[in-house]
Every structure is written in structure tokens, then in C-alpha cells.
Amino acid sequence: SQSFVEAVCQRIYRDKNNSLANSAEHFAMSPATFKRKLKQHGVSYSQLQDEQNKLKALHLLGVCQQGNEQVAMRLAFYDIPNFRRAFKRWTGITPSQLKI
């Protein structure tokens, strides 16, 4: 049996276009109730989304050896600079520094 937060993380990880409203519906809750339940666990939806995107990006860049463009597209970023900024915020390094 997994925790509520783990279940939400798995859902976010599997679906790049998953929104808070879609997740709330999946767990049979209103968006407000869903946000309250996450808050009770000490996290927000955007924090979980960022964490799952970071994990995906690290896997795609490091293990799968994909380029910034492919990873940005897989994570639904609309341009490369936004992806690079997000990656640096998540990890403290740029994607190119990871590949060195």
C-alpha cells in the first residue's frame, strides 16, 4: 500500500500533461479538497510536479543521453531556455554541466 503523496507522484510522473484538476478528479476529490489534503502532507501540487519533472529530466539526460530539446519536449516545456532555467532551479546546475 502506498501513501497518498506517492500515488499523486506516480500519476504526475506518468502523464506530462497532468493538471491539478485532472489529478483531483482521478482521486475523486474537488480541486480544493485535493489541495487541502496535499497541504496536510506538507506539500503542494507544484512542488510534486517539479520533483517529478526533475527526476524525469535527470533520467532522460543522464541515462537515456537525450538532448535538451528532446527532454524539454517530453516535459512539455515550450522553449529550451525555460527548460534550462527550471533544470538549474531543480538541481543547481545546467543540463550541459550534468553531461560533463
Residue spans per domain, the chain:
4-46, 53-98
**pLDDT tens digit sequence for 49-79:** 999 999 999 999 999 999 999 999 999 898 9
User: What's the mean pLDDT in 83-95?
Assistant: 95
- Percent of the chain whose pLDDT exceeds 90: 82
For residue 26, count other CB atoms closer than 10 A to its CB. Answer: 14
> Measured between alpha carbons, how far is 12 from 20 in angstroms, rounded to an integer?
9
Q: Is 76 helix (H, G, I), strand (E, B) or coil?
A: coil
- Residues 98 and 58: beta-carbon distance below 8 Å: yes
> Measured between alpha carbons, how far is 8 from 13 in angstroms, rounded to an integer?
9
